[in-house]
Amino acid sequence: SPSLRAAVMAAGPPPPLEPSPLPVFSEEGFGDKFLRKTRENPLVPLGCLCTVGILTYGLISFKRGNTRHSQLMMRARILAQGFTFAALLGGMVVTAMKSKK
């Protein structure tokens, strides 16, 4: 009914003439993002460093002809990669749980 609409419009404040400004987000650089992500899940960079260290040591052993030690390091590298992957998945689960709350 027209009289009801007029009463509702008269009761409320008039709509704003200018749209409200959108929030402005600062651009996050690579270094800032890396530090934030490292603070959120420090096990992932730690796992990456361990993987690279073990891989490097295994390649040095291989180059020196110590095949037994090289094979051991390659197996250790697989374990370090598994740890890194598990840390990455764990961090994703924790982040998803936080966003649901």
DSSP state string for the chain: -HHHHHHHHHHSPPPPSSPPPPP--PPPPHHHHHHHHHHH-THHHHHHHHHHHHHHHHHHHHHTT-HHHHHHHHHHHHHHHHHHHHHHHHHHHHHHHHHH-
Q: Lowest mean pLDDT: which of 4-13, 43-52, 59-68, 74-83?
A: 4-13
pLDDT of residue 8: 60
**Average of pLDDT values for 73-78?**
97
**Average of pLDDT values for 75-96?**
94
pLDDT of residue 52: 97
Read off the pLDDT band of 10 (50, 70, 90).
low
